[in-house]
Amino acid sequence: MSVPVFAAEETGHTLVGDAQWMPTVTIDVSGSPLIADLARVHAVEGIGDVRSHALRENDSVLLGVSLTVPVQAMFVVVFSYAAHGQFLEEVAAAGMLLFATTDTQRAHEEKPLWLSVDIDGDALRQAVLSVGDEPI
C-alpha cells in the first residue's frame, strides 16, 4: 500500500459550531482522489475507526492518520517543528485536527466538507519532544 504524504501548507483555526475553534491544516489532496473523498465518505457513513501516530525526525514532525472503517486509508502530513511547534501543541491539547482539503478562501461561501479526526494528544506530545527539546 502506497501512503500519500502531504506537506502542511497553512495552519490556523476554523470556527465549528457556535463557539468552538478547531486547529486546521491545509493540505493539497488534488493528486490523491481517495484522500480527497474521505470527508464525504465520513459524512455519509459516519466517523468510523481513526487512529493517529506521530514521529519526529530533526525538524520534521510526521503525523500519520489511518482509517479502517468505513474505508481503509492512510496518509501522512509533514510539519516543520520550527514553523508549527506551537500549532502542534494546540492540536495535542484539542485532541483533534481538521484537514482542509479545498480552497480555504472560498470556504465561508461554499461550506465544503473537510475531514476532522481525533488526535492522540499524548502521543503527539511525546513524538514532538522526543528529540530532547524543552516542552512546547
Span 32-55, pLDDT tens digits? 998 988 888 877 887 778 899 999
CA 74 → CA 49, 77, 133, distances in Å?
12, 10, 29
Nearest to 45 by CA among 132, 115, 120: 115
Residue 126, C-beta contacts closer than 8 angstroms, at least 6 positions apart: 54
Q: In whole numbers, what is the pLDDT of the chain averaged over residues?
A: 86
For the cut 90, the answer to whether the pLDDT of residue 88 exceeds it is yes
- What pTM, to 2 d.p., does this model score? 0.86
